[in-house]
């Protein structure tokens, strides 16, 4: 079952010069802010990267996104989250130390990965449900069902387009960040009855969502 809807959406036109100015304005700040839900940039499909930025500017943007992601901290960040409407996302996850949690979530380490113009397809119909949070929706987490195995096609910073498989938690991160590039937040896919403030989330999150299903009734 394909989940690639990105090619079917109309993206706004943005002159290349205006986009470059927007990128340079963001890069002029030591630590760009992460925009929050309610900002229109998070609700509009981002535009394909298609030569608008030279290699140096693209490299500086990627490095800045990685720095912002680490500082947040988070395991993924899409360019719209710092106000840039381009189809770029950075991902990196060291995994977790608890082997029970790691196994339950299929949370294996994900090395630093840059997705440019990504699209993905589910490998099968298997879905996994876990809590997710979002740097643009601070203070809350909710359960989202995601495909357990996907195949993603994307361009790397060196210009090479690759197709790679992702499973478990890395697959969840790819899907979450690709949603950002399509103008979606994780709450659009969430089981809303599971929504939990961070102060309450700890009681439900480990290692599965079974207790949350019983306690919150979903």
Work out the average pLDDT over 197-204: 93
Confidence band, pLDDT 50/70/90 cuts, at residue 15 = confident
| Catalytic residue list contains 177 | yes
Is residue 134 part of an annotated ligand binding site?
yes
Confidence band, pLDDT 50/70/90 cuts, at residue 206 = confident
Taking a C-beta distance cutoff of 8 angstroms, is the pair 56, 18 a contact?
A: no
Confidence band, pLDDT 50/70/90 cuts, at residue 1 = very low
Structure confidence at residue 97 (pLDDT): 86
The architecture (CATH level 2) of 6-216 comes to Alpha-Beta Complex (3.90)
Percentage of residues of the chain with pLDDT beyond 90: 85
Q: CB count, 10 Å around CB of 27?
A: 16
Confidence band, pLDDT 50/70/90 cuts, at residue 9 = very low
Work out the average pLDDT over 69-93: 98
Report the side by side order of strands in the sheet with 140-147. 127-133, 140-147, 190-197
Taking a C-beta distance cutoff of 8 angstroms, is the pair 87, 58 a contact?
A: no
Is residue 147 part of an annotated ligand binding site?
no
Taking a C-beta distance cutoff of 8 angstroms, is the pair 88, 49 a contact?
A: yes
Active-site entry in 13, 121, 177, 200: 177
Confidence band, pLDDT 50/70/90 cuts, at residue 10 = very low
Terminus-to-terminus CA distance in the chain, angstroms? 25
pTM value? 0.91
Taking a C-beta distance cutoff of 8 angstroms, is the pair 113, 92 a contact?
A: yes
Nearest to 6 by CA among 119, 146, 89, 123: 119
Does 192 have pLDDT greater than 50?
yes
Taking a C-beta distance cutoff of 8 angstroms, is the pair 90, 66 a contact?
A: yes
SS (H, E, C) the chain: CECCCHHHCCCCCCCHHHHHHHHHHHHCCCCCCCCCCCCHHHHCCCECCCCCCCHHHHHHHHHHHHHHHHHCCCCEEEHHHHCCCECEEEEEECCCCCHHHHHHHCCCCEEEEEEEEEEEEECCCCEEEEEEECCCCCCEEEEEEEECEEEEEEECCCCCEEEEEEEHHHHHHHHHHHHHHCCCCHHHCEEEEEEEEHHHHCCCCCCCCHHHHHHHCC
Structure confidence at residue 13 (pLDDT): 63
Q: What is the tens place of the pLDDT at every residue in 102-160?
A: 998 899 999 999 999 999 999 998 999 999 999 999 999 999 999 999 999 999 999 99
Domain edges within the chain: 6-216
Average per-residue pLDDT for the chain: 93
Please give the Cα distance from 11 to 128 (Å, whole number): 30
Is residue 125 part of an annotated ligand binding site?
no
Show the CA angle centred on residue 84, arms to residues 184 and 27, nearest 5°.
145
């Amino acid at each position: 079952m394909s989940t690639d809807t990105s090619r079917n959406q109309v993206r706004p036109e943005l002159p290349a010069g205006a986009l470059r100015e927007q990128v340079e304005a963001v890069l002029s700040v030591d630590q760009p802010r992460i925009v929050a839900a309610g900002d229109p940039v998070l609700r509009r499909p981002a535009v394909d990267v298609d030569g608008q930025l030279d290699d140096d500017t693209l490299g500086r943007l990627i490095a800045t996104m990685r720095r912002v992601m680490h500082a947040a901290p988070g395991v993924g960040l899409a360019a719209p989250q710092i106000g840039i409407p381009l189809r770029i996302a950075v991902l990196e996850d060291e995994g977790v130390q608890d082997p029970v949690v790691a196994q339950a979530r299929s949370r294996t380490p994900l090395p630093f990965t840059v997705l440019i113009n990504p699209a993905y397809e589910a490998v099968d119909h298997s879905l996994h449900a876990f809590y997710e949070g979002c740097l643009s929706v601070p203070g809350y987490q909710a359960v989202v069902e995601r495909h357990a195995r996907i195949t993603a096609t994307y361009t790397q910073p060196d210009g090479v387009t690759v197709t790679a498989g992702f499973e478990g938690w890395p697959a969840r991160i790819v899907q979450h960040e690709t949603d950002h590039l399509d103008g979606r937040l994780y709450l659009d896919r969430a089981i809303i009855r599971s929504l939990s403030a961070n102060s309450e989330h700890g009681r439900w999150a480990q290692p599965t969502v079974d207790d949350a299903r019983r306690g919150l009734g979903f």
